[in-house]
Copies of this chain bind each other. A is one copy, B any other.
């Protein structure tokens, strides 16, 4: 289903719902397009007219100011008109269904929906319901998928490591509940990263995790040994209550990323985190603020990647347009 929805009949990207089903060349096209948008953020006038006169609706059924802000900035730099909606506090209170909300906004000639929802599969459900000329970007649905985060992570890795071939990448933390991990693993597999590891206590790993194409580790010193990239995940504090991990102190001692644990990785290893960080829980401040952290460049890259995805699904011929300008 994903593949059909994500592409038009000419094989061009139409919606952006999940990494699964993307071809390697599509991912590379997004990364290359994002590269050309990096310069927009560094200009005096950080604006291009690609989405002028288009209406972008940020529809966040699950609240996330941080992610919403990145899409809002990306859309505004593309000159779109942006409407921010958080329907949990408005129409759904009045008993309207999600699809009625979508129908209404679509009837207002929304061109692009950016949707976050607490339920896995919500983005697909909505995309499947939309008329074909309206586009959708999945900004995170349940535990399922967070594909723009995976794309900015892949973009960041390529910027620092040049090539995906030969890389060892370790993803550390709550793999079980993480849509970030799930999407990133798919992206790294498609991009041909030869070794993707996941490092976590057994209670935070999905059963049969090897089927995702990753190598599981329960010990940080083993899991990080000789890796090029460390991706730390955010630990939801509510996992403590669920008895999935013993205590914050104990978790930090065993799985928190410190300079000492990081020392077993390659000398030029980079450290990533999707944010917001729990300093002293999954990551030590010395690492978070240290020379190997590329956590803030990830944020910068996130704007360029989101602009690229928006521009590609809305226009199709961004590359040509942008190249023509330079």
Which A positions have Cβ atoms within 8 angstroms of B? 41-47, 52-55, 63-66, 69-70, 72-73, 76-77, 81, 83, 85, 87, 89-91, 94-97, 100, 103-109, 237, 275-279, 296-297, 299-300, 302-303
What's the least CB distance linking A44 to chain B, in Å?
A: 7
Q: Are A276 and B91 closer than 8 Å at their CB atoms?
A: yes
User: Given that A90-B63, A90-B65 are known contacts, is A104 also in contact with B275, CB under 8 Å in the complex?
Assistant: yes
Distance in angstroms from A168 CB to nearest chain B CB is 26
Are A108 and B53 in touch, CB under 8 angstroms? no
* Cα-based distance from A300 to B44 in the complex (angstroms): 30
- Chain B, residue nearest A64 (CB): B90
- Measured between alpha carbons, how far is A300 from B89 in the docked complex, in Å? 23
Cross-chain contact A95 with B276 (CB below 8 angstroms): yes
Whether A97 and B300, one on each chain, are in contact in the complex, defined by CB atoms closer than 8 angstroms, is no
Seed contacts A44-B53, A104-B299; 10 additional CB < 8 Å A-B pairs: A41-B108, A42-B109, A45-B53, A46-B53, A47-B81, A65-B90, A69-B108, A73-B81, A95-B276, A96-B277
Query: In the complex, which residues of chain B have a beta carbon less than 8 angstroms from the beta carbon of A42?
Result: 109
In the A-B complex, the 10 residue pairs with the closest CB atoms: A45-B53, A65-B90, A107-B299, A96-B276, A47-B53, A107-B296, A41-B109, A76-B81, A107-B300, A46-B53
Q: Which of B44, B63, B108, B300 is A70 in contact with, Cβ under 8 Å? A: B108
A47 CB → nearest B CB, Å: 4
List chain B residues, Cβ under 8 A from A90: 63-66
What are 27 A-B contacts with C-beta separation under 8 Å? Answer: A46-B53, A46-B109, A47-B52, A47-B53, A47-B81, A55-B77, A64-B90, A65-B87, A65-B89, A66-B91, A66-B104, A69-B85, A72-B83, A73-B83, A76-B81, A94-B276, A95-B237, A96-B275, A96-B277, A97-B279, A103-B296, A104-B276, A106-B296, A107-B296, A107-B297, A107-B299, A108-B299
